[in-house]
Structure 1
Amino acid sequence: MKRSSILGLVVIAIAIAVIISTYSSSSTYGNFSDAKKTTSELHVVGHLDKGKELYYDATKDANYFSFFVKDNRGQECKVVFTGTKPQDFEKSEQIVLTGQMIGTEFHASTILMKCPSKYTQDKLEVTEAKAKTADI
């Protein structure tokens, strides 16, 4: 075979490997029932249960925040976030949690909030121990 043919096959093989690794590492969306069945990270979309208590005590542990979320199927679960409580968390319309189930609790590594706004739809993304904001 010619060197150019071999080089072309190597480039195609690398491209296929990159595509496969991209799709296999991407997490999927689900609900709390799906999260109980898997050990990988999962995105869960839901709404804050405002009838239940939010727990955050910065004097005891500034990196522990727990609350209850109802997913889109109506199943409620306690969520533990190892980071600071996001600003205006109670005002969020919708929450996207990334994490996994540990026992009966969903341990979130990332919280993405859809905040109400009169003119634009703002989203805030909060990751462990730091806060980022992104306008979308």
Structure 2
Amino acid sequence: MKKSSIFGLVVIAIAIAVIISVYSNTSSYGNFADAEKTTSELKVVGRLNKQKELHYDATKDANYFSFYMRDTLGTERKVVFTGTKPEDFEKSEQIVLTGKMVRGEFHASSILMKCPSKYTQDKIDTKEFKAKQQASI
């Protein structure tokens, strides 16, 4: 076999290995019940329970933030995030957490928030403006 053929096969094998490793590290979506059944990371979508306490004290530990969240099925769990509390966290409409369950708590490695649109107020004002404009005619 020629050296160029062997080199080509090695490059193809490395490319296949990289593709497999990239796809095996992607996490899938689920809920807290799914997270309890698996040891790999999972994305859980839910809403913040605003009636329960958010715990974040930057003076004691700036990398500890905990709160309670309900998933799409209504199951509530305590969430622990090892990082700083995201800005305007309480205003979020929906939260997507990536992480895994550890002793009944969901330990998140990342938080993605869906916040209220900043354009919603503009749309309301535009409707009011049009109504006022038509009333004056």
TM-score (norm 2): 0.78
Any unmatched runs of 5+ in structure 1?
A: 121-136
Please give the alpha-carbon distance, in whole angstroms, between the structure 2 residues aligned to 1:63 and 1:49.
21
What CA distance in whole angstroms lies between the structure 2 residues aligned with 1:86 and 1:5?
Answer: 52
Correspondence for 1:74: 74
Seq. identity, % = 78
Q: Where does residue 14 of structure 1 map in the other structure?
A: 14
Who wins on radius of gyration, i.e. which is larger? 2
* Bigger strand share: 1
Alpha-carbon deviations, 1:39-78, whole Å to 9, x = none? Answer: 2222111111112222223333332221111111211111
The equivalent residue for 2:58 is 58
| CA distances 1:87-120 after superposition (whole Å, capped 9, x unpaired) | 1101001111111111111111211111112339
Runs of 5+ unmatched residues, structure 2: 121-137
Moved over 3 A (4+): none
Aligned length: 120
TM-score with structure 1 setting the length: 0.79
Structure 2 CA distance for aligned equivalents of residues 82 and 59 of structure 1: 15
Hey, which of these two has a bigger chunk of helix by percent? 2
Q: How large is the RMSD of aligned CA atoms in angstroms?
A: 1.7
Task: Quickly say closer, same or farther: Cα 1:4–1:106, change in 2 above 3 A.
Answer: same
